């Protein structure tokens, strides 16, 4: 199939006013900056001499006017234009209780349509049809074409520039869901419903312009209007109704798109997810009208975000806003990378790739999909997602401002975009190019099956499981056809993160000449059933500097394995020990050996009604209550050790000499001082002996350097206990129980892509960010220590 270009947008996730609902970091206005009102007469963009004042940054010239004088309805109201942090209208808007649920219904309609198109699931078809039917009844009852979860009076307030939160944002969501139901799922009712909504709002907008002015309409748009321009351009491609085209134009935001048109990097303090959908709508304007300006706007915008405002995940924004360009080292907090922004940036990059076929956009899509989208769901827990993806050292997804949502009661916008994102994981793997002969671009390496109807072929993509010890990503494409195949061209992305040395491509076991990374491998031939294309792509560790051009932050870097961003398990320490400025990542980062997973264990004791687990916390041993939910918690990490056999003299059939290595501190061991150290002296050797309590299967840990002395729990404190326990009856029953542990299954396992990284004070376990749940981590390291 040809990949759909359907687009939809997100919004400011919390649905709260800037004055009341955000974390303090988001509400606080920077003290060293004031924002000017530009003396422009309309919200159309015009150059001004100076955008901002303040000591930190030099004035920026030739940037757009971002304020608009407006007439108010009755009383004097605030002025609105392009919305930035600290703008007068950013405060005072309040959310509605229905807005989040309304947007989630829209994303459900879009997600259900796309998932049904992929699976043909009859239950899903019935549910989405029922939702459309219920909405149809609501719209019919209104008699005007109006459809929303809140009364039309909200738009009276919006048009009067009075207190109300972003009603057009939710209207866009409903219209987009209906269009997706029509285009993707073939529901004939949905198109008529979307047309009726467009006609109703065309009347409202026209009334505002006739009664006041177009400037008044532009002024009202300084709130989140979602992707109204986007969905209306899409509607126009279906109806060819000029009224829909005009209305789409009226929702373009010239005072923001104008900044991009003059190529001013002036994103600082704009609310990110208010404005990314406007760019997506501008891209649809280019598709509809062919006006090259809007292609240039999107290109400049994407390049600006990637070069100055993007984290290693591919995500952007801090506390929902863009910060100063190339100043991200000061923006490493919990409230980074709103999930909706990643959802919308993927749309921008997708359009750009379709137009240009540039590898950079496909590489970005891969990075943001793996690290930005897959990271927002809590493992395989259905319906448990996050709002922000923390980037700061020692942060946890579970401990952000919102934390994890719930399966049935969370209606943040990031839930809506999250639901839809996971329904369309396959929508940007294959791109068909129309022409005399069929051509296909394969830009993502995701196991999948593609029915290429134009060429009469079915392509099945498979990937070999990848581990940290692997040197290659191996992917294969198998071709099948019910009839004789035809001449067609396959273009397979050779990603920028690989290398030509060691790369290999074969077609039916015959070697092909490979192109350089950052290009396409192009094969044109008569394809037949049984054809098989295989790729072997070298995959390496690499570091990537944070987007910050201040010399003192040059050492802040992320670690990636191919396209996978690696996070280090830590509660705050991020100082790496690289061995020198010229050190390669492989000099201080090594794969965790595959056999290590079989050496993991959790050592448990019963204490009254509690089960306690031996744990290494902050470099010391303690006993912690064994968590009921094993796996993705710091408690599970701290209670998991690797028992590394040492062998040598003194080992017998009933004893084994080992070192005890904490899971999250690879290469470090527990010492006879009950601390964790990188120094592996004789004091770190332990003999695993049958449990002193005599219970079947229990073990005791005897210090090799101090025969007769054992690790002793028996409560929250861990200590070394000695005292003749090898003598018959010695040590007492209480002591024997406290020195005995049950070897239980490990509460945590290594991910196949796990690495050990050397640190200044401690070592780090590195694992892909998308695999983490509640653990504390850092995605950036200080390599200058």
Between 303 and 95, name the one with better pLDDT.
303
- Answer yes or no: do 101 and 154 share one domain: yes
C-alpha 765/C-alpha 592 separation (Å) is: 9
Mean pLDDT of all residues in 318-347: 95
> Whole-model pTM?
0.87
Count: domains in the chain: 4
pLDDT tens, 560-593?
A: 999 999 999 999 999 999 998 889 999 999 999 9
Pairing of strands 63-64, 430-433: unpaired
Between 564 and 103, the more confident residue is: 564
Does pLDDT of 497 surpass 50?
A: yes
Q: What is the model's pLDDT at position 45?
A: 32
Listed residue (556, 521, 255, 229) closest to 391, CA to CA: 556
Q: Percent of the chain, pLDDT > 70?
A: 85
**In terms of domains, do 417 and 455 share one?**
no
Q: Specify the residue for token string 């950013």.
A: 90
292 in the same domain as 234 = yes
What does the pLDDT read at residue 82? 58
φ, ψ (nearest 5 deg) of residue 295 = -70, -40
What pLDDT was estimated at residue 50?
28
529: its two tokens: 């059933």
Q: Are residues 501 and 583 in the same domain?
A: no
Encode pLDDT of 288-316 as tens digits. 999 999 999 999 999 999 999 999 999 99
pLDDT band of residue 650 (cuts 50, 70, 90) is very low
Q: 296 and 355: one domain? A: yes
Which percentage of the chain shows pLDDT scores above 90?
73
In a domain, 15, yes or no: no
Most confident listed range (4-8, 162-166, 504-508, 733-737) = 504-508
Least confident span in 199-213, 428-442, 549-563, 651-665: 651-665
Residues 705 and 776 in one domain: no
Look up the CATH number of the domain holding residue 398.
1.50.10
Let me know if residue 17 belongs to a domain: no
267 vs 18, which has greater pLDDT?
Answer: 267
Flag whether 660 is in a domain: yes
The CATH code of the domain that includes 528 is 2.60.40
- pLDDT of 159 strictly over 60: yes
Domain range for residue 363?
24-55+62-423
For residue 446, the SS3 value is coil
Q: Does pLDDT of 46 surpass 90?
A: no
Of 399-413, 461-475, 717-731, which gets the smallest average pLDDT?
A: 717-731
User: At residue 127, does pLDDT exceed 90?
Assistant: yes
**DSSP string spanning 507-566?**
ETTEE-PPPPTTEEEEEEEE--TT-EEEEEEE--EEEEE-SB--GGGTTEEEEEETTEEE
- Asked whether residue 155 is domain-assigned, the answer is yes
CA separation for the pair 30, 57 (Å, rounded)? 13
Euclidean distance between CA atoms 56 and 675, whole angstroms: 45
Q: What is the pLDDT of residue 766?
A: 98
Flag whether 704 is in a domain.
Answer: yes
CA dist 188 and 193 (Å) reads 9
What average pLDDT score do residues 206-220 get?
A: 94
- Predicted local distance difference test score (pLDDT) of residue 725: 57
Q: Which of 169, 107, 124 is nearest to 416 (CA)?
A: 107
pLDDT at position 66 over 70: no
In a domain, 9, yes or no: no
What is the sign, positive or negative, of the torsion defined by CA atoms of 51, 54, 55, 56? negative
Q: Does residue 13 carry a pLDDT above 50?
A: no
Last residue of a domain, one of 538, 560, 578: 538
3-state secondary structure 597-663: HHHEEEEEEEECCEEEEEEEECCEEEEEECCCCCCCCHHHHHCCEEEEECCCCCCCCCCEEEEEEEC
Mark whether 514 and 365 lie in a shared domain.
Answer: no
User: Does any domain span residue 10?
Assistant: no
Do 383 and 311 share a structural domain? yes
What average pLDDT does this structure show over 309-324?
96
In three-state secondary structure terms, 742 is strand
Kindly state whether residue 13 falls inside one of the protein's structural domains: no
Cβ atoms of 109 and 97 closer than 8 Å? no
Tell me, what CATH number does 618's domain have?
A: 2.80.10.50
Is 539:569 a contact under the CB 8 Å cutoff?
no
Q: What is the rounded average pLDDT for all residues in the chain?
A: 85
Quote the radius of gyration of the chain (alpha carbons, Å): 30
Q: Tens digit of pLDDT for each residue in 608-624?
A: 788 999 999 988 999 99
Q: HSE of 773 in the Cβ direction (CA atoms, 13 Å)?
A: 18
> Do 585 and 600 fall into the same domain?
no
Q: Is the pLDDT assigned to residue 216 strictly greater than 80?
A: yes
Segment holding 298, helix H or strand E: helix 292-308
What pLDDT is recorded for position 724? 61
Q: What is the pLDDT of residues 515-574, one digit of tens each?
A: 999 999 999 999 999 999 999 999 999 999 999 999 999 999 999 999 999 999 999 999
Question: Is pLDDT above 60 for 275?
Answer: yes
Q: Indicate the pairing of strand 620-625 with strand 610-617.
A: antiparallel
Distance CA 548, CA 785 (A): 18
362 shares its domain with 498: no
Contact indicator for 12, 170 with CB cutoff of 8 Å: no
- Tell me, yes or no, whether 688 and 738 share the same domain: yes
Confidence check: pLDDT of 746 > 50: yes
What is the predicted pLDDT for the residue at 731?
A: 64
pLDDT the model gives residue 730: 54
Q: Please state, in angstroms and rounded to a whole number, the distance separating the CA atoms of residues 377 and 91.
A: 31
Residues 287 and 389 in one domain: yes
């Amino acid at each position: 199939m040809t990949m759909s270009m359907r687009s939809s947008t997100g919004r400011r996730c919390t649905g709260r006013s800037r004055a009341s609902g955000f974390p303090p970091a988001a509400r606080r206005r920077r003290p060293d900056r004031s924002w000017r009102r530009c003396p422009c007469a309309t919200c159309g963009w015009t150059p001004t001499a100076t955008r901002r004042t303040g000591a930190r940054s030099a004035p920026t010239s030739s940037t757009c006017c971002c304020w608009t004088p407006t007439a108010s309805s009755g009383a004097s109201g605030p002025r609105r234009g392009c919305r930035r942090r600290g703008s007068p209208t950013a405060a005072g808007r309040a959310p509605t209780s229905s807005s989040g649920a309304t947007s989630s219904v829209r994303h459900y309609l879009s997600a259900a349509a796309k998932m049904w198109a992929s699976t043909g699931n009859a239950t899903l078809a019935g549910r989405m049809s029922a939702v459309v039917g219920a909405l149809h009844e609501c719209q019919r009852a209104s008699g005007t074409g109006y459809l929303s979860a809140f009364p039309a009076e909200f738009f009276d307030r919006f048009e009067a520039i009075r207190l109300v939160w972003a009603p057009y944002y939710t209207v866009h969501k409903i219209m987009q869901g209906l269009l997706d139901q029509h285009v993707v799922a073939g529901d004939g009712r949905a198109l008529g419903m979307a047309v009726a909504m467009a006609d109703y709002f065309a009347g409202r907008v026209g009334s505002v312009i006739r009664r006041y002015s177009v400037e008044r309409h532009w002024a009202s748009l300084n709130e989140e209007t979602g992707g109204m321009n986007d969905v209306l351009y899409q509607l126009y491609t279906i109806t060819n109704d000029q009224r829909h085209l005009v209305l789409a134009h009226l929702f373009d935001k010239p005072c923001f798109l104008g900044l991009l048109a003059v190529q001013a990097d002036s994103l600082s303090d704009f609310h990110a997810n208010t404005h990314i959908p406007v760019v997506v709508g501008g891209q649809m304007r280019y598709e509809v009208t062919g006006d090259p300006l809007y292609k240039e706007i999107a290109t400049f915008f994407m390049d600006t975000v990637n070069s100055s405002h993007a984290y290693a995940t591919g995500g952007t924004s801090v506390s929902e806003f863009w910060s100063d360009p190339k100043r991200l080292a000061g923006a490493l907090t919990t409230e980074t990378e709103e999930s909706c922004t990643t959802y919308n940036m993927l749309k921008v990059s997708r359009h750009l790739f379709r137009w240009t076929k540039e590898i950079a956009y496909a590489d970005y899509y891969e990075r943001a999909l793996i690290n930005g989208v897959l990271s927002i769901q809590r493992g395989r827990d259905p319906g448990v997602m996050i709002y922000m993806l923390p980037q700061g050292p020692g942060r946890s997804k579970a401990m952000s401002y919102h934390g994890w949502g719930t399966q049935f009661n969370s209606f943040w916008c990031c839930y809506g975009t999250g639901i839809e994102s996971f329904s369309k994981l396959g929508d940007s793997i294959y791109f068909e190019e129309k022409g005399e002969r069929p051509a296909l671009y394969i830009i993502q390496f995701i196991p999948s099956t593609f029915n290429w109807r134009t060429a009469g072929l079915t392509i099945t993509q498979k990937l070999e499981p990848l581990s940290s010890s692997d040197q290659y990503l191996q992917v294969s494409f198998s071709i099948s056809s019910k009839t004789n195949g035809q001449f067609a061209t396959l273009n397979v992305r050779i990603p920028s993160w690989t290398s030509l040395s060691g790369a290999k491509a074969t077609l039916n076991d015959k070697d092909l000449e490979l192109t350089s990374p950052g290009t396409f491998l192009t094969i044109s031939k008569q394809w037949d059933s049984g054809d098989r294309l295989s790729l072997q792509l070298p995959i390496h560790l690499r570091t990537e500097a944070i987007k910050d051009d201040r010399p003192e932050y040059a050492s802040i870097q992320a670690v990636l394995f191919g396209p996978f961003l690696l996070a280090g398990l830590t509660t705050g320490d991020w100082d790496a020990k690289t061995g020198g400025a010229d050190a390669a990542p492989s000099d201080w980062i090594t794969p965790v050996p595959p056999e290590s997973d079989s050496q993991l264990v959790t050592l448990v004791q019963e204490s009254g009604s509690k089960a306690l687990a031996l744990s290494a916390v902050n470099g010391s041993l303690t006993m912690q209550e064994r968590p009921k939910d094993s796996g993705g918690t710091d408690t599970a990490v701290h209670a998991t050790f690797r028992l590394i056999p040492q062998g040598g003299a003194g080992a017998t059939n009933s004893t084994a000499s080992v070192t005890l290595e904490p899971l999250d501190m690879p290469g470090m061991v527990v010492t006879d001082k009950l601390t964790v150290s990188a120094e592996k002296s004789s004091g770190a050797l332990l003999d695993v002996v049958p449990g002193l309590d005599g219970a079947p299967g229990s073990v005791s840990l005897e210090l090799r350097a101090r025969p007769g002395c054992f690790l002793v729990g028996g409560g929250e404190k861990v200590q070394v206990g000695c005292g003749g326990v090898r003598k018959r009856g010695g040590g007492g029953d209480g002591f024997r129980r406290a020195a005995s542990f049950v070897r239980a299954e490990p509460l945590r396992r290594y991910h196949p892509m796990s690495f050990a990284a050397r640190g200044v004070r401690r070592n780090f376990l590195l694992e892909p960010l998308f695999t983490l749940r509640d653990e504390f981590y850092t995605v950036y390291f200080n390599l200058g220590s």
